[in-house]
Structure formats: C-alpha cells, structure tokens
Amino acid sequence: MTNKELIQNFYNEFFNMHKIEAANLYVREDYIQHNPGLTHGREALKEGFAKKFESDPTFRLEIKMMIAEDDMVAVYLKNVDPEGNTKCRVVDIYRIQDGQLAEHWDVLQPVTK
C-alpha cells in the first residue's frame, strides 16, 4: 500500500465511516500528536474522535489533494456538512513509519458565513 493509499483508507474508514477501531490498523500506538486539542497516542486519538462522532454524527472529511514525499504526506481537505457545504478547510501533515501514521500536524481554517 502506498502512503497516499494509507491516508485515503484511514480517512474513509476512521473519519467518514466513524470506525474508531480502524485506528488500530493505520495509527501507531506511540502516535505523536502536535494538535494541542489532543494528546499523544493512538488511544487518545480514538477517544477524542469517538466523542466528536457522538456529538456530530454527520462529521465527514473530503480529501481534495495529497502530496507525498518520502515518509511525509500532506493532505488538503474540507470538513463538509450533509449538504456538501464546507464547514472548515484543513491541512493535515503526517509522518509515516513502518506503514502506519506516526506523527501529525494540522492547520485549520473555519468557514464563517
């Protein structure tokens, strides 16, 4: 599986299908998280998004572009509502190690109306 395929599968299963346990396949146990709203580790990611999916059952991310180089992948995506309206634009950057997500950075741009 390529690094882009890894990201595509992870986003589809984890973020869009809300399969929390998919993180066990795609995310290292010692995952390093640079988003200050979440703590390090795969379990923290699962716990944080389980709460997010419970509070927002329509949460969905659409990948618009990916750039991969060596062990790094940058993903430009949009958080969209059920009607397809953009709620937030996001750039996620991942470091991949041994076929799993090892480290994450992000930049968020909320859309205001």
The CATH number given to whatever domain includes residue 31 is: 3.10.450.50
Nearest to 100 by CA among 28, 29, 36, 44: 28
Q: What is the residue type of 52?
A: K
Distance CA 17, CA 60 (A): 8
26 has pLDDT over 70: yes
Question: Would residue 28 be called left, alpha or beta, if left means φ above 0 and alpha means ψ between -120 and 50 degrees?
Answer: beta
Which tokens sit at 14?
């984890």
pLDDT at 112: 77
| Residue matched to tokens 């992948």 | 73
Cα separation values, 42 from 27, 47, 49, 70, 78, Å: 6, 9, 11, 23, 23
Position 113 scores a pLDDT of 64
Domain that includes residue 92, residue range:
3-110
The confidence score (pLDDT) of residue 110 equals 87
pLDDT of residue 2: 95
Q: How confident is the model at residue 36 (pLDDT cuts 50, 70, 90)?
A: confident
Burial class, 106, CB count within 10 angstroms (exposed 0-12 / middle 13-18 / buried 19+): middle
For the chain, what is the domain count? 1
Taking all residues of the chain, what is their mean pLDDT, rounded to a whole number? Answer: 95
Encode pLDDT of 58-98 as tens digits: 999 999 999 999 999 999 999 999 998 899 999 999 999 99
Residue type, 73: V
